[in-house]
Chain A
């Protein structure tokens, strides 16, 4: 009896092991299917393209702001090497010139299309979604073809990919396969029949090309777009990226024309100047078809118009006042006011001269109204530098000029007496963090 029971139990265990290995094998197959993609055969030489297709590709590439990440040195366009900081590590953009060894010279149109739509390199490895293929997945195939023609006709440059610096376990590229299940959808942008043709064109440009929401929508903990909070504001390169909907921090309502001017020049007079990561976007959009940028403005403005009109100090710009004598934080506010008067006022206040250019009176500066102080700190420290060789907006950086204490005091003062809002609780921490 006992022996039989033992035998039965053993048989039971064996059967269970059999089932388990079958399940494991099945899971393995599924996992491989999720994580593995085949290499596609290289091509020996680039095909010939119609000049018209290449020109269209240039316009599509400008709308996709490809150069913002793939060009570091203007003398070496699209050679890659730009570091993109993510919570999972630093990803470097790659060489997308048609160099056979280090670029995409050996890529067929099929391989290029797969990379754009599925985030898979020609040799089969999965690309990190720092490359926004989850947006490009919704491109019309004609646009993909035009991009292929454009990039395959750029001067080839020798520029091997830089090694990414990922934190464990994200160095394991196949894991991206699971991200793709969650966040990759190739469902095309559906036109909204209730909206104008221009708005619908703008929706396509914003979503499938310019990938605005990649930065203007917050991300989930897994690094995917949090679509329930569409355009609620996100971050890029440690800058706060403003919300573009009812949560817009802008102290003045955006008009559609303001927005169109801003997107093409980086400046909306009396309203905003592009800084930080937005500068690269503007630089690209400037080279795009103006009608497409107008469409983009129409579409984005539809969301920005949801922001309620607010009574903010921006409606009464002028000299910023000294702190009130009964301010509970008087010493710090006085220091901030002194820094403002001695360092900032020359361009931003009543003493403005021709050379102040488009410097905003600071009640109008959006960064003062942001939910966190990061963009203001970056602006004070790094200023705004025009792209190489281009006349554009300019502000010198004060990072090496002001001490941490002066920077904190200035930002606190500007927040209180410029925007009329309580000082950000994490201001000091953010200033100290940035200086490392």
Chain B
């Protein structure tokens, strides 16, 4: 089956089975390797990307349900040379240990900050709950999201990404 996907503002065509997880399409067909395969069951969040503005675990999203809705991955936030605000905050807080969960963490956090640029600590905690980190850098991850939120709320609207 042929599917047309909108990923990070670009249109892509892929030929794959209807039940192929979006995660496999991103990694294998589009070479967007930010999102990681963790559990494959929608339990750990390493594969989190944004679908139509909401965080989803892409390992349980069949490519056939995506349709024209825009997909956003960590590659859409910035580059190594020019990291996005949230990516920079994760670097500044040194929030990654092994780093496997971080692309998913960043995308879940981005979805929060898009909707609530100045979240409370409680909102950050409950929003980040579904994503797991096995190294135990949760406190740094929370600090990084806080730092990015503080940066966003100092910026005029429109400059948030």
Q: Chain A residues in contact with chain B, CB under 8 A?
A: 338-339, 341-343, 345-346, 355, 394, 396, 398, 400-403, 406
A403 touches B67 (CB 8 A): yes
Query: Is B119 in contact with chain A by the CB < 8 A criterion?
Result: no
B43 touches A394 (CB 8 A): yes
B65 touches A401 (CB 8 A): yes
Among residues of B, the one whose C-beta sits closest to the C-beta of A383 is B42
State the Cβ distance, A73 to closest chain B Cβ, in Å: 9
B60 touches A343 (CB 8 A): yes
Residues in A with CB closer than 8 Å to B54 are 400
Given contacts A394-B43, A396-B42, contact A343 B57 (CB under 8 A): no
A343 touches B65 (CB 8 A): yes
A339 touches B51 (CB 8 A): no
Residues in A with CB closer than 8 Å to B51 are 400-401
List 25 A-B residue pairs with CB atoms under 8 Å apart, sorted by A's residue number.
A338-B18, A338-B64, A339-B62, A339-B65, A341-B18, A341-B19, A342-B18, A342-B64, A343-B19, A343-B60, A343-B65, A346-B19, A394-B41, A394-B43, A396-B60, A398-B60, A400-B51, A400-B52, A400-B54, A401-B56, A401-B60, A401-B61, A402-B65, A403-B67, A403-B69
User: What 4 A-B pairs are tightest by C-beta distance, nearest first?
Assistant: A396-B42, A342-B62, A400-B54, A342-B19
Choose among A394, A396, A406 the residue that contacts B65 (Cβ–Cβ < 8 A).
Answer: A406
Among residues of B, the one whose C-beta sits closest to the C-beta of A357 is B41
Q: How far is the CA of A338 from the CA of B69 in the complex (A)?
A: 18
Q: How far is the CA of A339 from the CA of B61 in the complex (A)?
A: 10
Among residues of B, the one whose C-beta sits closest to the C-beta of A405 is B67
B65 touches A403 (CB 8 A): yes
Query: Is B55 in contact with chain A by the CB < 8 A criterion?
Result: yes
Interface residues of B in 51-95 (CB under 8 A from A): 51-52, 54-57, 60-62, 64-65, 67, 69
State the Cβ distance, A158 to closest chain B Cβ, in Å: 15
Among residues of A, the one whose C-beta sits closest to the C-beta of B40 is A355
Most buried by B among A343, A398, A401, A402: A401
Q: How far is the CA of A339 from the CA of B19 in the complex (A)?
A: 9
Residues in B with CB closer than 8 Å to A406 are 65
B41 touches A400 (CB 8 A): no
Residues in A with CB closer than 8 Å to B19 are 341-343, 345-346
Most buried by A among B51, B57, B61, B62: B62
A400 touches B55 (CB 8 A): yes
Q: How far is the CA of A398 from the CA of B19 in the complex (A)?
A: 15
Q: How far is the CA of A406 from the CA of B51 in the complex (A)?
A: 15
Residues in A with CB closer than 8 Å to B64 are 338, 342
Residues in B with CB closer than 8 Å to A398 are 60
Q: How far is the CA of A401 from the CA of B18 in the complex (A)?
A: 15
State the Cβ distance, B137 to closest chain A Cβ, in Å: 19
Among residues of B, the one whose C-beta sits closest to the C-beta of A355 is B41
Residues in B with CB closer than 8 Å to A355 are 40-41
Q: How far is the CA of A341 from the CA of B64 in the complex (A)?
A: 11
Q: How far is the CA of A319 from the CA of B65 in the complex (A)?
A: 21
Residues in A with CB closer than 8 Å to B52 are 400
A343 touches B41 (CB 8 A): no
Q: How far is the CA of A396 from the CA of B55 in the complex (A)?
A: 13
Residues in B with CB closer than 8 Å to A342 are 18-19, 62, 64-65
Among residues of B, the one whose C-beta sits closest to the C-beta of A399 is B54
Give 1 or 0 for each of B6-22: 1 = CB within 8 Å of chain A CB. 00000000000011000
Residues in A with CB closer than 8 Å to B69 are 403
State the Cβ distance, B1 to closest chain A Cβ, in Å: 11
Q: How far is the CA of A204 from the CA of B127 in the complex (A)?
A: 40
State the Cβ distance, A382 to closest chain B Cβ, in Å: 11
Q: How far is the CA of A346 from the CA of B41 in the complex (A)?
A: 10
Among residues of B, the one whose C-beta sits closest to the C-beta of A343 is B62
Give 1 or 0 for each of B31-57: 1 = CB within 8 Å of chain A CB. 000000000111100000001101111
Q: How far is the CA of A10 from the CA of B51 in the complex (A)?
A: 79
State the Cβ distance, B44 to closest chain A Cβ, in Å: 11
Among residues of B, the one whose C-beta sits closest to the C-beta of A406 is B65
Among residues of A, the one whose C-beta sits closest to the C-beta of B18 is A342
